Amino acid sequence: KERKLILAIESSCDETSVAVIEDGQKILSNIVASQILSHKRFGGVVPEVASRHHVEQITLCMEEALSEAAVTTEELSAVAVTEGPGLVGALLIGITAAKAYAWAHDLPLIPVNHMAGHIYAASFVKPMTFPLMALLVSGGHTELVHMKEHGSFEIIGETRDDAAGEAYDKVGRVLGLAYPSGKELDELAHLGQDTFQFPRAMIREDNFDFSFSGLKSAFINRVHNAEQKGEELDRLDLAASFQASVVEVLVTKTIRACQQYDVKQLIVAGGVAANQGLRKAMAEAVAEELTDVELIVPPLRLCGDNAAMIGAAAFVAAEKGLVGDLALNADPSLTL
Ligand code: KG4
Ligand code: ZN
């Protein structure tokens, strides 16, 4: 049987990534060129800077991905690329490169939703079994997605304001941490205790939505109040208290969603899925409260943005005949 090799490209935000994926499940290469250092001094991703970096990196990453995978262009069966959501200028660099490559080598072009990609990162760990629930937690999104089969996505709940990762980044800034501060805040949280008891927004409400802006404000107000009074707050406890609130809400609502939809699998994906507190609490809650539900959390390197996950989602899309053409355009607000 001939192997199906997909060249996958991801450029939706601040990572230029190109991967070669065999049969949707084997990662032959997954090059990730991060621009974080360039954005750090601005305290966030600057779209124009991101686009320029993608332009500089994209062809280098494509060459490196092919050479590391030891794959020639002739062996490829398709080119996949992130269509959205993301920064329009950043997306366009990947899309233009993918279109040019697909046209030059007469290969099918497969558009992929970035959030679907995050979910499909789980398929490198274990095959997906349906119905499943996915908790998607990233810098721009926080949503619970119910999947009855491949390619079918039903958003049953989402954040009404800030995404979980966004809250981490904003709160981290108040603590003087560099952008993006999720990882560092996570590390600090492990050294402190939940002494502040911040609110757990919407935790008891009969829906699957989230809200993190109230928590963010409570945190910022607490810090500013202390500053005005010259009171010294324990940074580790602040971090631990913030994290305890985020994790408890995410875990509680996700477990409830799994029960209500009677799923076989739970996938936790996206940049915030790298959070050690969330990984641990979710594993414990699944073991205690859900019988026969298999939890899949991708390895750390596949939680953040990468092209391997785009290749995995593209493999399934290609099997369903979801192929694009050269009219493909970036869709910054594409939904699942
Ligand atoms: O999925 P991702 O790489 O990019 C987007 O599509 O948004 O997610 C990036 C987000 C950032 O907000 C970052 O602070 C957060 O993921 N993040 C974390 C951790 N590692 C990354 N948040 C909490 N704990 C972590 N360990
Ligand atoms: Zn992402």
198 close to 241: Cβ distance less than 8 angstroms: yes
- CATH 3.30.420.40 fits domain 5-119+303-319: yes
**Which CATH architecture does the domain made up of 127-297 adopt?**
2-Layer Sandwich (3.30)
Mean pLDDT along residues 130-152:
97
**In terms of residues, how long is the chain?**
336
pLDDT band at 18 (very low <50, low <70, confident <90, very high): very high
> Which atom of ligand 1 sits closest to the CA of residue 163?
12
pLDDT at 158 over 80: yes
Nearest CA to ligand 1 atom 13: 182
User: Which residues are found with C-beta within 5 Å of the ion, ligand 2?
Assistant: 138, 305
The pLDDT, as a whole number, for residue 104 is: 98
The model's confidence at residue 41, banded by pLDDT at 50, 70 and 90, is confident
Q: What is the pLDDT of residue 39?
A: 87
Pocket test for ligand 1, best of 170, 272, 303, 334 (most atoms within 8 A of CB): 272
Q: Which of 138, 179, 302 to mutate for ligand 1's pocket (most ligand atoms within 8 Å of CB)?
A: 138
What are the pLDDT digits (tens) for 257-301?
A: 999 999 999 999 999 999 999 999 999 999 999 989 999 999 999
Question: What is the reported pTM?
Answer: 0.96
- State the binding site for substrate: 136-140, 169, 182, 186, 275
SS3 sequence of the chain: CCCCEEEEEECCCCEEEEEEEECCCEEEEEEEEECHHHHHCCCCCCHHHHHHHHHHHHHHHHHHHHHHHCCCHHHCCEEEEEEECCCHHHHHHHHHHHHHHHHHCCCCEEEEEHHHHHHHHHHHCCCCCCCEEEEEECCCCEEEEEECCCCCCEEEEEECCCCHHHHHHHHHHHCCCCCCCHHHHHHHHCCCCCCCCCCCCCCCCCCCCECCHHHHHHHHHHHHHHHHHCCCCCHHHHHHHHHHHHHHHHHHHHHHHHHHHCCCEEEEECHHHHCHHHHHHHHHHHHHHCCCCEEECCCHHHCCCCHHHHHHHHHHHHHCCCCECCCCCCCCCCCC
What is the ipTM, given to two decimal places? 0.98
305 lines ligand 1 (CB under 6 A): yes
The string of pLDDT tens digits covering residues 46-75 is 899 999 999 999 999 999 999 999 999 999
The answer to whether domain 5-119+303-319 and domain 127-297 are alike in fold is yes
Whole-number Å distance between alpha carbons of 85 and 117: 11
| Residue minimizing CA distance to atom 3 of ligand 1 | 304
Going from the Cα of 316 to the center of ligand 1, the distance in angstroms, rounded, reads 25
Residue 1: its pLDDT value, please?
A: 63
| pLDDT average, residue stretch 104-112 | 98
- CA-nearest residue, atom 10 of ligand 1: 139
CA-nearest residue, atom 23 of ligand 1? 182
Domain boundaries, the chain: 5-119+303-319, 127-297
- Closest ligand to Cα 171: 1
